[in-house]
Structure 1
Amino acid sequence: MAPRDDDPRFLRSREAIVTAAREVLLTHGPGAVTHARVAEQAGIARATVYRHWPRTDQLLAAAMATVPMPFFDAPATPTRDWLVRELTTLARELDHHDVRVVATTLAGTALWEDDVDARRARLAALLAGRLADALEAARARGEVDLHAAPRDAAALAIGPLYYRATIERGTTDEDVIAAVVDGLGRWR
């Protein structure tokens, strides 16, 4: 008989697994999030981890959902300098092989898995909203004349970094980041 979602033992083991997966992710990176390692960290049987998340990408997605998304969350002025710093930090994260693997795996999985797609949509909306709000505030302060709608800024700014990291498997340098930022608008 399959465990019920309201069974306290099911809920406890699920919480222990997610906590362990998050610890492994934050300590050792995405490549370390395996069923065996998470089971060892949680002090439970590997079969229990597989019962909750049959695939590693599902387990990793659950762990990642517990990690806060820091990008674009604390805008500063001047906005152009802040945006260059944020995009540089994001680009350096995407330089890591494990982060590239996670980014492409989750993007691909979102095509087929509704729960992963829902997480993808929440993340996209969060990043787009934060960046749009920061650019709207910069425009209100007279820092920038935007070339596009603020809601499109995340696609215009993050897209080139993602492309460079995942499609080209290259590093986004400071000249590309400056071009991306300057492409968003005329800065004063």
Structure 2
Amino acid sequence: MSNEDARVARTRADVSRTVRRLLAEEGWDAVTHAHVARVAGYSKTTLYTHWPSRADLLRIAVESLGDMPHAESTGDLRADLVAEVTAFRTAIEELALDKVLMALAQQGATVDEIGEVRKALVADGERHIRHLLSVTTDERRRDAAVQMMSGVVLCPAVMYGELPDDRVIAEAVDILLGGLGEA
């Protein structure tokens, strides 16, 4: 890697980390070129050159998350669902994913470019549970089941500022599987 490539990679990492931190600590309104530049230690010109819009800043922050963490499938549907929902809880906790999702939801409602980023992140996050449930449910029920499974983590995180414990996740999976006739 050339020195220029290393500088660009370092700048990208610093800026994306700063955007995620600002989203988590201060919310979307803090994600301005001026504020990100000041906190990350770069010039506004650098940020505008590489990321001309606020949507671009949000996009690199989401892209820097990489693929969402997913649990390894074991073939036991209950255990796999519990593990996957637990992995989502971990992503919320470690990546401040709830704050990122709130910003994406807020801005994605009016800015198409951000809406597309949100759709891609959600699709990646839901992919594994959709696959697990594809064996036992049709698409209509699968949509409801996926929303229920993400909701057991996202709702308390957003509404109450806390994450569900292992017992709540296991019980939610049991309720879901009972409703699907899989318990």
Structure 1 residues 59-103: Cα deviation after superposition (integer angstroms, max 9, x where no partner): 133221243223447433222112212212322332469433222
Q: Check the 8 A contact 1:17/1:49 in 2, yes or no.
A: no
Percent sequence identity over matched residues?
18
Structure 2 match to 1:156: 148
Q: TM-score, normalised by structure 1?
A: 0.66
Query: One-letter code of the match for 1:124?
Result: V
Structure 2: stretches of 5+ with no match in the other structure? 1-6, 24-35
How many angstroms apart in 2 are the aligned matches of 1:97 and 1:63? 11
Give the alignment partner of residue 177 of structure 2, picking from 158, 182, 185.
185
| Corresponding pairs, count | 160
How many angstroms apart in 2 are the aligned matches of 1:50 and 1:98? 25
C-alpha spacing 1:159/1:58, structure 2 compared with 1 (3 Å):
farther
Structure 1: stretches of 5+ with no match in the other structure? 1-12, 140-144
Give the alignment partner of residue 61 of structure 2, picking from 60, 63, 83.
63
Q: TM-score, normalised by structure 2?
A: 0.67
Structure 2 match to 1:103: 101
How many angstroms apart in 2 are the aligned matches of 1:14 and 1:113? 27
Query: One-letter code of the match for 2:103?
Result: T
Query: One-letter code of the match for 1:64?
Result: V
Query: How much is the aligned-residue C-alpha RMSD, in angstroms?
Result: 3.3
Q: Check the 8 A contact 1:157/1:180 in 2, yes or no.
A: yes
Give the alignment partner of residue 30 of structure 1, picking from 7, 20, 30.
20
Query: One-letter code of the match for 1:125?
Result: A
Structure 2 match to 1:168: 160
Considering fraction of residues, name the structure with more helix: 2
C-alpha spacing 1:58/1:183, structure 2 compared with 1 (3 Å):
farther
Give the alignment partner of residue 15 of structure 2, picking from 12, 21, 25.
21
Structure 1 residues 18-53: Cα deviation after superposition (integer angstroms, max 9, x where no partner): 45434x36xxx8216832354x4xxx6332203524
